[in-house]
Structure 1
Amino acid sequence: MKVILSTVSRRVRSPCGQVLSYRLLRRLGAESWAQDLLDAVYLDDETQVWPDAMDAPAEDHGERTLDSNGSQLFAGDTVVLIKDLDVKGASFVAKRGTAVRGISLTNNPEHIEGRVNGTRIVIISAFVKKSN
């Protein structure tokens, strides 16, 4: 199990370090120097499985983020608040009918993140409806 990376190959011996180096180079693939190093990388079949599995889409475990009407929400969707919400830690109320554009999903399927009045807040998905 050897990563051949000019100077890095002498320092990276463990499979974990090899996979980490490989994934970082793939992320920086737009840079010419990173692409050159990535072209020189070799991971054996056993180790190659790790970064491939990490980059594979996550399996659906039935935990979908749903709005108040039961419509599935996706990252980047636009939603509308269906009731006034007191924002904890801020001195404003998010008013009913406020559009929240470009939402982000969280690890908890009951919560979404969005920007209201310039402040990034976590919103309970039961208090929003998907905007068409």
Structure 2
Amino acid sequence: MNAPLISSQRHLDRELVARKAERFAVFIVHVADVNMRGKPYRLVIDGHHNLAAAKLAGVDPVWRAPASKWSRIEKSMSPPQFERFLINNLTDSDYYFVDTGEVVQDLLGVEPARTTTEDGK
């Protein structure tokens, strides 16, 4: 999937990033290919500090798929439920484009829960 890289975690411990940039040779970042509100994205799941350290060190990170816990959560929900889960459960900010820091306007706002009655309406 050729999609923009986004995140909802802006907090970075600058000292940790600097230490990693000095000491690490490989910077692993876990991302997931997702669709939200009809658009594809690559979502940073884990490795925000590694991503920042790779940039500081001037090297490309090693992209990895999410851990198995992510797959278990995703499989426990329907695709629309999982999309709502992602939109409604942010880390410490709205989703933003990692390259620019700009907020992803299309992902602002809460997705209301969908409920149905016994007759399916």
- TM-score normalised over the length of structure 1: 0.20
Q: Which has the larger radius of gyration?
A: 1
- TM-score normalised over the length of structure 2: 0.21
Structure with the bigger RCO (C-alpha within 8 Å, sep 6+) is 2
Higher helix share: 2
